Each structure stands twice: as C-alpha cells, then as structure tokens.
C-alpha cells in the first residue's frame, strides 16, 4: 500500500531490503496474524525465519553475525512490518531498542554472547522499565539490584513488557542497592543517562510506525469510498468525503516529511531528545486523528473487527501512551524551550 512519495533517504539498496521484507511479511506473517492474536504471542519459528532472511538486528556489525547496517536499514524494515503486520510482533523492541543497548553499553563479551543469537532469532530481547507503581515517573521505580560477589541479584516487579512472555534476554532497569563504591563499577550511576540516551531512537521508531499507519489508513479509505455507493454515487463523490480525505492526505504528507527529517537527523547522529519527543507526540496524535476520520467514512463497517481499519483504529490508541505518554513528551519539549 505505497504512496506516490519517495523519501529522499531511500536508496536502491534500502528499496531492495524493503521489497524482501514486504514479500516475507506478506507470505509468512499475514496468514498467521489471526492465530497469533488468539494465542497472544508470535511463534518462535517466525523469529527464526525472519532471522534467516536478514530482517532482525540490521545494525549489528559483521563481527557479531549481523549485516553491519545502520538505522536506515532498521527503519526500512520497520516501515514494511508496520504496513503488513498488525500488533504483536515485538521486533522493533528486539532489533531497534535492545540490540542498540547491548551494542552501546554491553562489554565485548556480552556482545559476542548475545548478538549473534539475536540476529538469528533464537534469542528474543525485551526491555523492562515500567513497574505497576512507576510508568511515566521512571525515577520512582522500586526495583533493586544487589551486588552479590560477581553477580547482581534483582528484586523487581515489571509490567507491560513487550516480548515479556517469550523473551530470553531482558534488559531490566533497576536501582543499585547500597552502591559501596560507584566509581569502581562503571555500571552504577550510568544507568539512567543510558536510558535517556536511547529514548530518541525508541521514539523515532514509534513515530515511523505512526506515519506508516496514517498513510495506510488514507489509502484504505480512498479505495473504500471510491467503491462504496451512497445516494446513487460513490461515497468519494460527496464533497465532505473529498474534503476530509484531502485533509487527511495533507496531514499524512506533513507527517512523512517530519519523520523523514528525524530519520535523516538520527542517521547523522543529530536527533535530539526534544525533536524526538515532538515527533512521537505529534505523529501519534495525527495517526489517531486520521484514523478517527477514516473510521467515520467506513460507516458501521469501520466498527467491525473484520475490517482492517477497525483494528488499526483500536491499535492506534496505545501509541499515545507507551514509549513515554504524550503528556511526558510535551514536558520534555517545554523544558527544552
């Protein structure tokens, strides 16, 4: 479901990767989505298949079994995943978030131990920050780690963790209990800044997902309203329909231009927290607004789960909540003004 717009950062190589991803998702994922939704997890075999065709952890260097790509490869895969799949496959967390933490903050030994299996899909990654009593207020987390010889013993309760049911490797955010000598352990005191440093990438991926869903909603609704007849003519011929879709298409284009700006900035290492927060809140907000308009144009069918637009509408709502609620995004922006 492509639009007529081609992002300036797109290259032949990235386009080829997108084609591979789209064909793979259409062939291997689309027929399984109802089953995955019912059982509430994605089969492990699918992760391994995705690994075999090179769709996991594209930023992992060759020395750790990866293809040595960059964020643009990750975005290309995220876009196709978002276009074809529905909710449930936590690859964006696995490949786009957890991988980056290990690459940036893991030791060489940890990289060698975990990354090859993550690229293969035999190890599934998750990140656990949220607790029942601490979501938006990350600093309020009660989870603790206690040093015991060469190990840390973790005592924490986490909730809402994507891939939580199937994960083999979980990055757990906790506070260090009684750090004796923080200077002697570079991991003590370094955790919170690491969480904050990684936020722009996580938020960018959510924003990319929002833009793809917005574009897809407009395309689906255009096709539907051109086919659906009301009062003896296509619904699209009603002036209100045309104006609503003109507005939605304009929002989708503005959203695309903004996210492209952020993608390029991030590829150059220049996406700051403020801009990533702007992208996250505004693009997920646009996604929800456009989907609301589109559902209205589908009439009663827009409420029926059998129609993709109904499922897209329901799934869109969480985009304004996770990855940092949109109110928190506005706090981050306001503080930086």
Ligand X SMILES: Cc1cc2nc3c(=O)[nH]c(=O)nc-3n(C[C@H](O)[C@H](O)[C@H](O)COP(=O)(O)OP(=O)(O)OC[C@H]3O[C@@H](n4cnc5c(N)ncnc54)[C@H](O)[C@@H]3O)c2cc1C
**Binding positions for ligand X, 171-230, rule CB under 6 A:** none
Question: In terms of CB distance, is 122 or 136 closer to ligand X?
Answer: 136
Task: Pick the closest to residue 137 from 315, 333, 331 (CA basis).
Answer: 331
CA distances to 45, 225, 239, 303, 309 from 300, in Å: 37, 13, 20, 5, 11
Q: How far is the CB of 57 from ligand X (least distance, A)?
A: 17
Burial class (CB in 10 A: 0-12, 13-18, 19+), 284: buried
**Binding positions for ligand X, 88-107, rule CB under 6 A:** 93
Characterise 178 by phi-psi region: left (phi > 0), alpha (psi -120 to 50), beta (else): left
Question: In terms of CB distance, is 141 or 309 closer to ligand X?
Answer: 141
Among 222, 264, 267, 321, the residue binding ligand X under the rule CB under 6 A is: 321
Question: In terms of CB distance, is 248 or 276 closer to ligand X?
Answer: 276
Q: Which residues does 225 contact at the CB level (< 8 Å), separation at least 6?
A: 234, 235, 236, 241, 245, 297
Go through 207-239 and write b for each residue having 16 or more CB atoms within 10 A of its CB, e for each that does not: bbbbbbbbbbbbbbbbebbeeeeeeeeebbeee
Question: In terms of CB distance, is 9 or 160 closer to ligand X?
Answer: 160
Output the six-digit token pair for 304.
């029926």
**Chain centre to alpha carbon of residue 319:** 9
Tell me which H or E stretch contains 175.
strand 175-176
User: What character string, x for contact with ligand X (CB under 6 A) and - otherwise, covers 112-141?
Assistant: ---------------xxxx----xx-----
Among 81, 117, 162, 284, the residue binding ligand X under the rule CB under 6 A is: 162
Output the six-digit token pair for 260.
């492209």
- Say if residues 85 and 311 touch (Cβ distance below 8 Å): no
Characterise 324 by phi-psi region: left (phi > 0), alpha (psi -120 to 50), beta (else): left
Q: How far is the CB of 165 from ligand X (least distance, A)?
A: 12
**Closest chain position to ligand X (CB):** 135
Among 43, 304, 327, 335, the residue binding ligand X under the rule CB under 6 A is: 327
Question: In terms of CB distance, is 67 or 164 closer to ligand X?
Answer: 164
Question: In terms of CB distance, is 59 or 198 closer to ligand X?
Answer: 198
**Binding positions for ligand X, 17-76, rule CB under 6 A:** none
Q: How far is the CB of 314 from ligand X (least distance, A)?
A: 12
Distance CA 156, CA 127 (A): 13
Question: In terms of CB distance, is 2 or 336 closer to ligand X?
Answer: 336
Stretch that binds ligand X, among 42-50, 64-72, 279-287, 318-326 (CB under 6 A): 318-326
Q: How far is the CB of 128 from ligand X (least distance, A)?
A: 5
Residue 161 contacts ligand X per CB under 6 A = yes
Stretch that binds ligand X, among 100-108, 111-119, 254-262, 315-323 (CB under 6 A): 315-323
Output the six-digit token pair for 331.
């706090």
Q: How far is the CB of 133 from ligand X (least distance, A)?
A: 8
Residue 77 contacts ligand X per CB under 6 A = no
Q: How far is the CB of 97 from ligand X (least distance, A)?
A: 8
Per rule CB under 6 A, count of chain residues that contact ligand X: 19
Output the six-digit token pair for 294.
């589109």
Active site residues: 202
- For ligand X, the binding residues (CB under 6 A) are 93, 127-130, 135-136, 160-162, 318, 321-325, 327-328, 331
């Amino acid at each position: 479901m492509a639009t007529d717009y081609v992002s300036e950062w797109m290259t032949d190589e990235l386009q080829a990767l997108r084609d591979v991803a789209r064909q793979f998702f259409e062939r291997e994922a689309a027929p399984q989505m109802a089953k995955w939704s019912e059982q509430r997890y994605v089969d492990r075999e699918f992760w391994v298949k995705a690994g075999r065709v090179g769709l996991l952890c594209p930023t992992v260097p060759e020395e750790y079994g990866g293809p040595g790509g960059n964020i643009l490869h990750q975005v290309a895969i995220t876009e196709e995943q978002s276009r074809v799949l529905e909710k449930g496959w936590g690859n964006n967390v696995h490949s786009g978030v957890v991988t980056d933490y290990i690459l940036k903050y893991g030791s060489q030994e940890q990289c060698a131990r975990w990354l090859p299996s993550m690229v293969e899909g035999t190890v599934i990654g998750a990140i656990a920050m949220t607790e029942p009593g601490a979501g938006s207020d990350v600093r309020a987390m009660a989870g603790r780690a206690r040093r015991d010889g060469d190990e840390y013993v973790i005592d924490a309760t986490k909730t809402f963790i994507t891939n939580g049911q199937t994960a083999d490797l979980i990055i757990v955010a906790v506070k260090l209990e009684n750090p004796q000598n923080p200077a002697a352990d570079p991991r003590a005191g370094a955790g919170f800044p690491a969480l904050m440093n990684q936020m722009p990438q996580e938020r960018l991926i959510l924003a990319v997902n929002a833009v793809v869903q917005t574009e897809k909603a407009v395309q689906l609704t255009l096709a539907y309203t051109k086919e659906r007849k009301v009062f003896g003519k296509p619904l699209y011929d009603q002036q209100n329909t045309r104006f609503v879709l003109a507005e939605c298409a304009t929002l989708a284009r503005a959203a695309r231009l903004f996210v492209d700006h952020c993608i390029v900035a991030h590829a150059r290492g220049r996406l700051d927290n403020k801009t990533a927060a702007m992208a996250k809140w505004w693009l997920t907000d646009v996604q929800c607004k456009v989907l609301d308009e589109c559902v209205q144009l589908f009439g009663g069918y827009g409420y029926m789960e059998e129609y993709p637009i109904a499922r897209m509408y329901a799934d869109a709502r969480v985009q304004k909540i996770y990855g940092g609620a949109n109110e928190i995004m506005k706090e981050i922006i306001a503080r930086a003004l």
